[in-house]
Structure 1
Amino acid sequence: MIKRNVRLPGKMKRVKQMFLLTVSTILLSLSLSGCAIDEWVLEGSTNSVSHEELPQQDRLRVIFLDVGQGASQLLISPSGRTMLIDAGNNDQEQVMVDYLKQYGVKRLDIVIGTHPDADHIGGLDRVIDNFEVGEIYMPKIQANTKTFEYLLKSISNKGLKVKSAKAGLTLNWDEQVQVKMIAPVNTSDDKNNMSAVVKLTYGSTSFLLTGDAERESEQDMISSGVDLQADVMLVGHHGSKSSTTAAFLKKVSPEYAVIQVGENTYGHPKQTILDRLSKAGVEVYRNDLQGTIEIDSDGQKYTVNTER
């Protein structure tokens, strides 16, 4: 593993200044009972599992797992709580299980399936089958695929409650880390624009994890007035030109960007996006070039580790 030099965020001065200023479709697939407005309650939902944390570490670890042409982020909080956002494609199921074991994970406190595309949720069924899970969030949009069906069955078999992923939620994860869901803001028929987008703030450092959110969702986030600035940004939709608009990038104004991409026939990441990031002075990391990428924060500065 290659360890990069510890860097202070280039926008720390500005951050300090700011500081000073101070699924309806599930009904078609599975039987539901007792459903609340903001919750998909799968039949037999009890989920009374014990909580096990990883050792305290006084740092937030955000690990962009190399799952080829797909996406998955494993987060480990300063107190040892865990969160998994997406789990790569179907052919990455065992890879995901192996990754989690490698990082010492026995329980996932929060699981988020950003949207029902296979390259994001393909490995989630196997993960849920093999690990204790606390809470699971997914947007209310369907996919008529076996991948989505298998995920729903794994959720049902585990007796889990699925909570609706949407803007305005604050997730109870670690008292030292603020976790806010800032998209989807509006309802869309487009799966990508229904992607769950999560912002984490730890001390004066911040991460924005965007799923496959495209320009429609990016504009919705801008219009909502939510604070989008983040030092680390997951580039939307694997570097597709459908995402990371100039207006959105300006609002986020990141120091670092990560592109979760592998060998593909789509031309991801697009040169237009790479040029846009370069022009903005953003330091870019890519799974296809550097393998798994881990960006750690102690609340003030970052350490970047890459597999190669």
Structure 2
Amino acid sequence: MRKLATAAVSFSGALFMAHYLLPDHALLISAAVCAVLSLAGLLFRSDTRLRIFLVCLGLAAGFLWTDAYTALFFAPAKALNGKTESVTAVVTGYPGETDYGSKVTVSVRVPGRPSLKTQLYVYDAAPDLTPGNTIEFTGKFRLADTVYGENTDTFLSKGVFLSASLKGDITVTGAGASPRYIPAVLAHAVTEKLKEIFPADVSGFMRALIIGDTSGLSQDTALSGALSTTGTAHIIAVSGMNVAFLMGVLGVLIKNKRLLAAVGIPVVFLFMAVVGFMAPVTRAGIMQLFLLAAPLLKRETDGVTSLSASLLIILLFNPFAVGSAGLQLSFSATLGILLLTGKLYDWLERPLRDRKIYGHPLFRKPVRFVLGTLATTAGALVFSLPLIALHFGTVSLIAPLSNIAVLWAVELTFIGGIVAVAAAFLFAPAGAAAAFIVALPARFIVNAIIGLGRVPFAAVFTSNPAIAAWLVTAYLMLVVFVMLRARARQLLLPACLSLATLCLVLILTASFSDRRGLSVTALDVGQGQCIVVTSGSYTEVVDCGSTSGKDAGDILTKYLQSHGRTTIDLLVLTHYHEDHAGGVQEVLERNKVAALAVPDPSIDTGALPGEILELAADKGVRILTVTQDTRVNCGGETVTLYAPIGGSDENERGLAILCSEGGFDALITGDMSAGIERRLVAAERLPDIEVLIAGHHGSKTSTSDTLLSAVTPEVALISVGYNSYGHPAPETLQKLALAGIATYRTDRDGTVTVNAP
């Protein structure tokens, strides 16, 4: 019996139940119930008795630890929520840039309690701080369980309990040089060295691959989107693969097992510390430590035991880590590899073993690599795919091919990158020369992933309800066949049925989408706007941006692909503000766009207009600068682009768009003020419309009585998310209600679609 595994899984199971199912007040009661149930073990003998004890007491311990940890850390953080306080803290990381300034992680001292890890936001240039600095500052604190009004596990799962907005200045009261911050200093040095020696086109990828720093990928929207689409995001999630590469090199250099353990254990631990003890690498590192220690302790290693023990250790340090998508995916994928990959590989290789050509090394080695990659990918996906679909809404169909295409180069690039960095610290020219060579396979990986990500139906998305239903049905069939103890060959039946069903879903989705008349969709992009207008096979997008943490470009791309739309025939920008145009570059990178209609770029003094137009030109997109009213005929739909009609504010110098087909009309006014709306009504012959996209996210300064009286809409869509502006304004909502206009808002109703009858 796997005693440690049984206890660890029970303990971890209690933490998962506490996080997702049980209210806080039920934890102690649940612990008591489990403790009492453990007494049932006295009725049994031997292994059964022990198993009951381990399960029940493991559950009880998990509930108790969750309650205690909450009291120690979350309760003090909750006491600071919403308050502005002057505090003393210790800097635990280096400052980093944000869209609005900078941020730095600090540990806030709380009298009589453990320090609270806090993300401090500075709306200015990054302060000159280093790990170990003691600082004093005044900040407004908020619990880190909510971001832009939505609950999130992102910060709590990393042990960050608070966020704070700086009020005033930071005072450094102590330098500090504790050895505990050596890994952070080393990580920063490696990151800076990677920036220095690698070319800009692969620098971000190399930092993500080697050190887990994905900040450099945020600007590379084509790559970041393709990683998800192709099922290769695990490459940049520093995890078991990286640890295996590292130990593989040490294994080649050190043949003595005891010496390998003596060197490998501190190397693995240092590697975990340098990348910040992220859940995937910590899981892999602990399992590797078990593997290295087994010969020294004269014990056989057991994959399931070491996997469950690593989960136990991670959750002992932070029970809130159960909410981490990275942790869930890492453990589910590893469990699938441990339980299934060997069997899948054996099944795939068996028909080849008796073939004469298979005995030739030149043939056998590459075939084994392909079969091994297929078996590993399939094994990893069996348990992790539902979680990927749940967390990210993506099901990569091209993942097996993508991994075969690039994994051979990933090992070379990872090891080569480490060698290049080490050489750069010793002799800069040697590091630069090594980086030049390593950049070659790195470019291959990046370009291959981007190219594969553009393959039609490389991935499908659960935003299409039919895809979600298909995935659930496929797994139900798999479960039924497994419960019936079907043989490996018999499992081909549900696999083929699932594939045939998926093809049918994709064909029907594309077919029904092309047959519809005019359809207007307001995507839920948070505080921003992205409107999709379709008519038959024609696709028009108006605006794409968000300022509330949502990736508008990614949301749009997934929406279009899930509905079988591969081309944006016309992309229109009402104006260039971030909440309307911030996602456009990603849209241009990841989608085929035929034409782009924009207002005069000189209306905005920022860099965004120039960046968008330059990228569009590079992509061969036809650019139409609208300086006078323009009508575009697109099949059965007519799109009228109303040129800006004055105003001093950038919001007032944007475009308005009227989409018409038959007797169905939809009007989009961007962020126009009431005054400009009145000018529009006076200058143009606007028809009675069916759909109005409420101006400026429902602001009280837009959607005037004059406009409503002139166009008499039946439905109003408000594209809005969490904000501090009061959008949508009560006055606007009341105005729409009094006019008898059915109103839908994306912050409450999600993505909203209105179809022509």
Q: Which residue of 2 aligns with 1:148?
A: 609
Q: 1:146 to 1:167 in 2, by over 3 A?
A: closer
| Residue number among 677, 686, 695 corresponding to 1:218 in the alignment | 677
Q: Whole-Å Cα distance in 1 between the matches of residues 555 and 693 of structure 2?
A: 21
- Secondary structure (helix, strand or coil) at the match of 1:244 reads coil
Greater relative contact order (Cα < 8 A, sep 6+): 1
Describe the superposition over 1:241-298 as per-residue Cα deviations: whole angstroms up to 9, x where unpaired.
Answer: 111111111111111100000010000000111111111111100000100001111x
Aligned to 1:237: 696
Q: Percent same amino acid at aligned positions?
A: 30
**1:212 aligned counterpart, secondary structure:** coil
- Structure 2: state its 5+ residue gaps: 1-509
The answer as to whether partners of 2:599 and 2:625 remain within 8 angstroms in 1 is: yes
Q: Deviations over 1:12-41 (max 9, x none)?
A: xxxxxxxxxxxxxxxxxxxxxxxxxxxxxx
Question: Given the superposition, is the C-alpha separation of residues 123 and 178 from structure 1 closer, same or farther in structure 2, using an over 3 Å criterion?
Answer: same
TM-score normalised over the length of structure 1: 0.74
Q: For residue 587 of structure 2, what is the amino acid of its counterpart?
A: V
Contact 1:141–1:191 (CA<8 Å) still a contact in 2?
Answer: no
Equivalence map 1:84-233=2 (5 Å): 84-89=541-546, 91-142=551-602, 143-166=604-627, 168-174=629-635, 176-184=636-644, 186-233=645-692
Q: Does 1:249 align with 2:702?
A: no
* In structure 2, C-alpha distance between the alignment counterparts of 1:212 and 1:63, rounded to whole Å: 18
Query: Which has the larger helix fraction?
Result: 2
Matching residue of 1:65: 523
Q: CA RMSD in A?
A: 1.8
Kindly provide the amino acid, as one letter, of the partner of residue 625 in structure 2: S
Partner of 1:83: 540
Could you tell me which amino acid in structure 2 is paired with residue 57 of structure 1?
R
Unaligned residue ranges in structure 1 (runs of 5+): 1-53, 302-308
Kept in 2, the 8 Å contact 1:166–1:196? The answer is: no
Which of the pair is proportionally richer in strand? 1
Query: Who is 2:429 aligned against?
Result: none
Q: 1:121 to 1:150 in 2, by over 3 A?
A: same
Provide closer, same or farther for how the CA distance between residues 81 and 123 of structure 1 changes in structure 2, counting only shifts above 3 A: same
Q: In 1, are the aligned partners of 2:530 and 2:552 still within 8 Å (CA)?
A: no
Aligned AA (1:254): P
Q: For residues 183 and 279 of structure 1, do their structure 2 counterparts lie closer, same or farther at Cα, with a shift above 3 Å needed?
A: farther
AA partner of residue 685 (structure 2): V
Cα distance in 1 for residues equivalent to 2:696 and 2:672: 6
Equivalent position SS for 1:71: strand
1:133 Cα offset (Å): 1.3
Distance in 2 between the 1:146 and 1:132 partners? 23
1:117-144 deviation per Cα after TM superposition (whole angstroms, max 9, x unaligned): 1100011111011111111100114323
Length, aligned pairs only: 242
Q: Is the 8 A contact 2:674 2:701 kept in 1?
A: yes
Instruction: Give me the whole-angstrom Cα distance separating, in 1, the residues matched to 2:629 and 2:555.
Output: 33
Secondary structure in 1 aligned to 2:593? strand
In 2, distance between residues paired with 1:214 and 1:228? Answer: 20
Distance in 2, Cα, partners of 1:215 & 1:141: 23
Structure with larger Rg: 2
The answer to which of 196-205 and 251-260 deviates more is 196-205
Q: Distance in 2 between matches of 1:249 and 1:182?
A: 18
Which 4+ residue blocks in structure 1 deviate beyond 4 angstroms? Answer: none
Tell me if the contact between 1:110 and 1:133 (Cα under 8 Å) persists in the aligned partners. yes
CA–CA distance in structure 1, aligned partners of residues 638 and 592 of structure 2: 23
Q: Tell me if the contact between 1:72 and 1:88 (Cα under 8 Å) persists in the aligned partners.
A: yes
Distance 1:180 1:96 in 2: 22
